[in-house]
Structure 1
Amino acid sequence: MYLGIGDVVRDRADMAVGIVVGVTSRATGNRVAVYVSGDAVRLSELYDLDLLARHARQISTGRRVLALVVLVLSVLAAFYGCLSAHALGAGWLLMFLSGLGGFTAVLTAYQWCGHLTGPRRFRV
């Protein structure tokens, strides 16, 4: 299971809901540090936890603008791919696939950058 700092989990032992604050390493195995109500931190085994929600930050204005720019660039890449295939005398199917390839290439590069700069998840 992949967990991140700030994920909301529930301990099956007593159904306590808490927030993941870290992972500790012990001789018996890894344990997850969970912040529960009452200003307490408890160490729980991984098999005792249920993931309830992932921590997600709101998107900043700069990232929204970047997403819009990438969307416009991907549409332009699709248009250019269709136009280039048409200029070479391709049929409608090859034009469509060329446009889809250009659109997908730009969006995939954007998604990879998002995964590299996004919140870290650690394997427990």
Structure 2
Amino acid sequence: MYLGIGDVVRDRSDMAVGIVVGVTSRATGNRVAVYVSGNVSGNAVRLSEPYDLDLLARHARPTSTRRGVLALGVLVLSVLAAFYGCLSAHALGAGWLLMFLSGLGGCTAVLTAYQWCSRLTGPRRFRV
């Protein structure tokens, strides 16, 4: 299971809901530090086994204006790549199927590069 700091999890032992605050390594294996608020003893950080946790929600930052403009720019670039691919295939005398596949390939190449870049710069997840 991949967890990130800020993810909301539920502990199966007592159904307590908490937020992941870290991961620790012990001789017996990895433990996940979970911040649980409002239990009987007050607010507390507890260490839980990873297999005892259910993931309820992922922590995600809201999209910034800069990132939205970048996504729009990538979308426009991918449409231009698709158009150029179709136009190039048409100039070489290809049929409609090859023109469509050429445009789809150009669009997919640009969007895949954007997805990989956003995945590399996104929040880290820890394997526990």
Give TM class, smaller chain: over 0.9
- CA distance in 2 between partners of 1:62 and 1:47 (Å): 38
1:37 to 1:62, Cα distance in 2 relative to 1, 3 A:
farther
1:27 to 1:74, Cα distance in 2 relative to 1, 3 A:
same
Q: Deviations over 1:60-102 (max 9, x none)?
A: 0000000000000000000000000000000000000000000
Unaligned residue ranges in structure 1 (runs of 5+)? none
Contact 1:8/1:52, CA 8 A, preserved across alignment? yes
Q: CA deviation at 1:37?
A: 9.1
Identity in percent: 91
Unaligned residue ranges in structure 2 (runs of 5+)? none
CA RMSD of aligned residues (A): 1.4
Give runs of ≥4 in structure 1 deviating > 4 Å: none
The 3-state SS of whatever aligns with 2:124 is coil
- CA distance in 1 between partners of 2:46 and 2:116 (Å): 35
- CA distance in 1 between partners of 2:79 and 2:116 (Å): 18
1:64 to 1:27, Cα distance in 2 relative to 1, 3 A:
same
- CA distance in 2 between partners of 1:84 and 1:69 (Å): 22
Q: How many residues align?
A: 124
Contact 1:30/1:45, CA 8 A, preserved across alignment? yes
Would you say 1:65 and 2:39 are equivalent positions?
no
TM-score by length of 1: 0.97
Contact 1:23/1:33, CA 8 A, preserved across alignment? yes
Q: CA deviation at 1:47?
A: 1.2
1:37 to 1:102, Cα distance in 2 relative to 1, 3 A:
farther
Contact 1:9/1:52, CA 8 A, preserved across alignment? yes
The 3-state SS of whatever aligns with 2:42 is coil
Contact 1:78/1:100, CA 8 A, preserved across alignment? yes
